[in-house]
A and B are shown apart, each in its own frame.
Chain A
Amino acid sequence: MVTTTSPRQVAVPPVGDRPQRRSPTGRSSARRRGEIALFLGPALLLYATFVIVPMVLAGYYSLFNWNGLGPLDQFIGIDNYTRAAGDPVFRAAVGHNALIVVLSVVVQLPLALALALLLNRRLRGRAILRMVLFAPYVLAEVVTAVAWQLILQPSGPLNTLLENMGLESWAQLWLADRDLVIYSLFIVITWKYLGFGIVLFLAGLQGVPNELLEAATVDGASAWHRTRYVVLPLLGPTIRIWIFLSVIGALQLFDLVWIMTKGGPSNASVTMATFLIDRGFERSQIGYGSAAAVLLFIISFVFALLYQRYVMRRDTEGALTRRVG
């Protein structure tokens, strides 16, 4: 796309050979720059206004003891950060986020993969099944949270169903039990986001050539072997991008938790995002909340960098890092 100075491109004739100074290449490169500025400008401006500037401001506020209303004059250095590091509630929040990350990968990944493999086969009502599984993903988080809050009430539909099935002992205080609440939330998260994984994997499965599967069959590979040694390796890039999206989503978990439990009971389901909103806006400690926000950003950013560097390197190679040929 862009003219390059790569030493490989020796085929371009030296500019000095041309008779006119204002070469067509020169004019078009100026024009091209104009085009780039025109097309990228608005996006860059929006990105700077709504992403970069607020991030920088949060970093700045995090160095102050500030309630968001009075003057910004109590500079306290990194005190907010040391306070967060020693705050048992913030630590609990990090722990809950980590738990959701691990559970997502360990539980949701196999589940979504299995369902995608199933739905990729010819079976009756496949379109309907796909739609049913994908529907929750389309629902707004707020709607999901309000609906599940009703379902998980002590005398709500879920417990009533369990009782009617003779499983009274399975009925739980899903959101009121401090030991259980984070797992209840995880079930809702899984219900909501499973469809996304399935659709992603179904798309990936379309990229698995039938010829390979047929060849494997001819070679005597069983269904399990075909899945394990042909389908899964070819699905690798899709799985890796799903894990990436899932971990980032789990780290930034907010809406569902905030509406269903507000991080309670007694901080049993607090996440980094609910913590920073609670401290920032409920307690009016904008400085401290900003520090928590910066920490959440750093954790997510470091994960994203490391993951791209070490796990997704092969997937993005060729596409981004080096020109082929």
Chain B
Amino acid sequence: MLRSTRVAALLAAALLTATTAACAGGGGAAAPATSPDGKQVITWWHNATQDTLKDYFQDAADRFTAAHPDVTFQIEPVQNETIQTKIRVGLQSNDPPDLFQQWGGGDLATQVESGKIADITDATKDVVESMGPIADPWSVDGKQYGLPYSVGVTGLWYRTDLFAQAGITQTPKTMDEFYAVVDQLKAAGIVPVALGGKDKWPDAFWWANFATRECPQAALEAVTTDLAMTDPCFVKAGQDVQQLIAANPFQEGFLATPAQEGAASSAGMLANGQAAMELMGHWNEGQTTGLTPDKQPLGDKLGWFPFPTVPGGKGTPGATVGGGDGFSCSASAPPACVEFLKFLASDEEQSTFGATNTGLPAAKAAESSVTGTSIKAVLEARGASPYNQLYFDKALPTDVGQALNDEIAGLFAGTSDPQRIVDVVAEAAASR
């Protein structure tokens, strides 16, 4: 009950802000970056509503203000599904947040059109250089518009205790082995896979992983550059999804299950041992921690393995689907904003973040701070990955990416087909 009221309160707050922000669109000057007494106030919207990461962000802000007494933060954690809409509305208003969650890619490119995202190329040159290609999604046309604090890859998170209960000794390496595992779990009366179909992007994770196994790197890269999926491998990815659905590995009613909200969400099911696996990003250890009854990390009970190989797939072996979490400053933000971005990306701060085991630090020097067994496995996969496909809904421009997600969700609901997904992307790109 506590959780649901919290969710409700957040939603209510978000709706309210959305309304006021929308109303404010008509006129009025941008908010002053500094208050009259010379203090810099940074409003910060992030999506960490679960304790560990939320606390880390608060601590980081406290550490920064200790060194910069003229800076104060107004931190607003917003639930992940809500914050995406909230940021879009905020950027359309004349009073965008100073510092906000940023996933990069085509989504960022769309936002940059507004002219409200701060170009931080010069200020962050050194950091970007040391991060390497990991920081690429936060740049558009050679200019840097944000910095990641956490970058990782998707893969299958699983419950070691439930696998043992079903007599599974090895994690599956191929799809055939995966289906065998699904059957074994079912025979033991365990829901094999939890899926948050209500939010659509978890569906898209499955399709994108199949596409990365089926498609050669050049075909994948062409999606973002040409906004088209011409290679027949993308249709095959849809067929792979259909085969998966036919095996019926998901919980009952997965079409209406949220991904992260509450104990009945797909992450909650994994956290509470009601499902054995979930295809999810690198943040899932932190996510599940907040959804267990005692809010304790699952520890050894949680494991991770990479997405299985698909027989006959033309994808580069070891290629991954992933992306990262970062932040952008708005153009109207006080100068301390970019300083804080660099502070978050510093080796020291990244190590502190890594030690929370809520995600993978973006800075290479901080990799040794990661200690959790499963999160270390994600780190290895990230390091070994020859090509990482940024989540398609982030890599593509916002409208095309969302149209793709909707159609993939339709495939899971049985109202679409593999060819239709490819067509919809072309249609959405044409109507831009």
Which chain A residues have a beta carbon within 8 Å of chain B's beta carbons? 49-50, 53-54, 57, 65, 67-71, 83, 140, 142-143, 146-147, 150, 153-156, 173, 175-178, 181, 255, 259, 261-262, 264-268, 277, 281-286
Contact = CB atoms under 8 A, between A and B. Distances in A.
21 contacts: A67-B110, A67-B113, A67-B399, A69-B110, A83-B431, A142-B15, A146-B4, A146-B8, A146-B11, A150-B264, A153-B253, A173-B253, A175-B253, A176-B257, A264-B198, A264-B256, A264-B413, A266-B413, A266-B415, A283-B399, A284-B110
B4 A147 contact: yes
Contacts of B413: 178, 264-266, 268
A91 B380 CA distance: 48
Contacts of B402: 282-284
B290 interface: no
Contacts of B92: 68-69, 286
B11 A142 contact: yes
A284 B4 contact: no
Contact of B399 (A140, A150, A262, A285): A285
Interface in B19-34: 22-23, 26
B159 to A, nearest CB: 18
B241 interface: no
Contacts of B12: 140, 142
B405 to A, nearest CB: 9
Given A67-B113, A70-B114, A259 B11 contact: yes
Contact of B113 (A57, A70, A265): A70
Contacts of B252: 154-155, 173, 176
A276 to B, nearest CB: 12
Contact of B4 (A150, A175, A178, A265): A150
Interface in B189-245: 197-200
B88 A176 contact: no
- Counting from the closest, the 4 A-B pairs by CB-CB distance are A176-B253, A266-B413, A69-B114, A265-B255
Given A69-B110, A146-B7, A178-B415, A284 B88 contact: yes
B369 interface: no
B254 interface: yes
Given A67-B399, A283-B402, A261 B256 contact: yes
Interface centre among A67, A140, A150, A175 (most CB of B within 10 A): A67
Contact of B198 (A65, A69, A83, A261): A261
Interface string B396-432: 0011001100100110111110000000000000011
B80 interface: no
B50 interface: no
A244 to B, nearest CB: 25
A262 B416 CA distance: 18
A265 B197 CA distance: 8
Interface residues of B, number: 49
A291 B301 CA distance: 51
Contacts of B262: 150
A262 B198 contact: yes
A307 B197 CA distance: 41
A267 B424 CA distance: 15
Contacts of B84: 282
Contact of B256 (A65, A142, A147, A176): A176
A135 to B, nearest CB: 17
Interface centre among B7, B18, B253, B264 (most CB of A within 10 A): B253
Interface centre among B8, B26, B414 (most CB of A within 10 A): B8
Given A69-B92, A178-B255, A261-B256, 7 more contacts: A69-B110, A156-B264, A176-B253, A264-B413, A266-B409, A284-B88, A284-B399
B346 interface: no
Contacts of A264: 197-198, 200, 255-256, 409, 413
Contacts of B432: 65
B72 interface: no
A67 B415 CA distance: 27
B398 A53 contact: no
Interface in B68-100: 84-85, 88-89, 91-92
Given A142-B8, A142-B12, A176-B255, A50 B198 contact: no
Contacts of A268: 413
A267 B255 CA distance: 11
A266 B113 CA distance: 30
B47 interface: no
Contacts of A153: 253, 264
Contacts of B89: 281
A261 B114 CA distance: 31
B378 to A, nearest CB: 28
A322 B257 CA distance: 56
Given A142-B11, A146-B7, A173-B256, A69 B111 contact: yes
B251 interface: yes
